[in-house]
């Protein structure tokens, strides 16, 4: 995978040939720039970035997918780049967009109501559509971490995400909320509601820290705060990792036992642990 921070060569030659002088490499005039913007193409001076993007798309893992995409900067500060075909549309969490081509339009829609609010997601989703021609758009998550791609094949099997993990999805993917019960919701660390993704198309989810995919063949125990997503067909229960002494003193707390066959995605960091670490460094007003 090609990282967007890869340093480019600084030599004065290119492929053994002298580099063009400043006159040959002059920026296009205003009319040419307007033409580029109208067509949705990227300017000529962005050729090096375009070359890196092309390499990243070629290096991206192959498999079923709705859009051509690449994920760069993983696992610390991941950035998702998606190429929309003409007429293509993708929905994304509010404030997730970094940049987009000029021929892509955006509409904001109210989605989900109170249930979506309780999953820590925004009440609004942004729809991005390439109207006149194909275009490129980039997204990133709010926390430092990873981004993962999953393709729903339309077979009816759903993908479940923890609250806050949804980043973007294709137009034919429905992201709804699923009540997981008072006991599971209160103790699981994921909240009372999960995000249930159904339909056919690409789903992109994010994490705090790196994402690790685990194939479950029978059973798997995961710390509640490390769960990011899991596939349909897995059942789960919340339980103590050991006795009550371990529950309150070990730092592990409650865990989730997955049973069945499917996939679970976990994150290498958990936000409550980071919050406890940073708490002593918070600004405190002195009493006078």
Q: Report whether pLDDT(43) > 70.
A: no
Task: Tell me whether residue 15 is in a domain.
Answer: no
* Cα(35)–Cα(32) distance, integer angstroms: 5
Task: Tell me whether residue 279 is in a domain.
Answer: no
CATH of the domain at 102: 3.60.160.10
Nearest alpha-carbon partner for 140 in 196, 194, 99, 84: 99
* Cα(239)–Cα(249) distance, integer angstroms: 16
Domain that holds residue 132: 64-269
Predicted local confidence at residue 254, as pLDDT? 76
- Scored b (16 or more CB within 10 A) or e, 178-210 reads eebeeebbeebbbbbbbbbbbbebbbbbbbbbb
Instruction: Write down the H helix ranges in 111-168.
Output: 113-118
Task: Tell me whether residue 282 is in a domain.
Answer: no
Q: pLDDT digits over 178-219, tens only?
A: 766 544 544 445 555 788 999 999 999 999 999 999 999 999
Count of domains observed in the chain: 1
Task: Tell me whether residue 16 is in a domain.
Answer: no
* Cα(97)–Cα(284) distance, integer angstroms: 34
pTM: 0.71
Q: pLDDT digits over 219-250, tens only?
A: 999 988 899 999 998 998 887 665 554 544 44
Q: pLDDT digits over 93-133, tens only?
A: 988 999 999 999 999 987 655 555 554 555 678 999 998 89
Task: Tell me whether residue 201 is in a domain.
Answer: yes
Task: Tell me whether residue 232 is in a domain.
Answer: yes
Task: Tell me whether residue 274 is in a domain.
Answer: no
Q: pLDDT digits over 144-171, tens only?
A: 999 999 999 999 899 999 888 999 999 9
Between CA 195 and CA 98, with CA 166 as vertex, the angle to 5 degrees is 160
Task: Tell me whether residue 171 is in a domain.
Answer: yes
């Amino acid at each position: 995978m090609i990282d967007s921070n890869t340093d480019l060569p600084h030599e004065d030659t290119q492929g053994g040939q002298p580099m063009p002088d400043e006159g040959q490499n002059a920026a296009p005039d205003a009319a040419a720039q307007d033409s580029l913007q109208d067509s949705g193409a990227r300017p000529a001076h962005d050729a090096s970035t375009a070359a890196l993007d092309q390499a990243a798309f070629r290096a991206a893992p192959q498999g079923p997918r709705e859009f051509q995409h690449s994920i760069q900067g993983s696992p610390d500060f991941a950035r998702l780049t998606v190429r929309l075909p003409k007429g293509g549309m993708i929905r994304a969490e509010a404030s997730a967009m970094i940049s987009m081509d000029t021929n892509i339009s955006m509409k904001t829609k109210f989605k989900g109501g109170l249930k979506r609010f309780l999953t820590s997601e925004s009440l609004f989703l942004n729809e991005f559509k390439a109207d006149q021609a194909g275009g490129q758009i980039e997204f990133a998550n709010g926390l430092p971490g990873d981004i993962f791609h999953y393709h729903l094949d339309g077979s009816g099997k759903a993908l479940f995400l923890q609250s806050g993990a949804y980043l973007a999805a294709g137009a034919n993917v429905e992201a709804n909320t699923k009540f997981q019960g008072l006991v599971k919701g209160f103790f699981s660390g994921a909240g009372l509601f999960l995000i249930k993704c159904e339909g056919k198309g690409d789903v992109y989810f994010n994490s705090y820290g790196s994402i690790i995919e685990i194939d479950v063949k029978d059973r798997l125990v995961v710390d509640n705060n490390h769960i990011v997503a899991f596939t349909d067909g897995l059942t789960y229960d919340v339980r103590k990792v050991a006795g009550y002494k371990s529950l309150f003193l070990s730092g592990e707390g409650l865990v989730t036992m997955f049973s069945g066959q499917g996939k679970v995605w976990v994150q290498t960091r958990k936000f409550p642990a980071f919050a406890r670490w940073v708490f002593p460094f918070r600004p405190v007003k002195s009493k006078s």
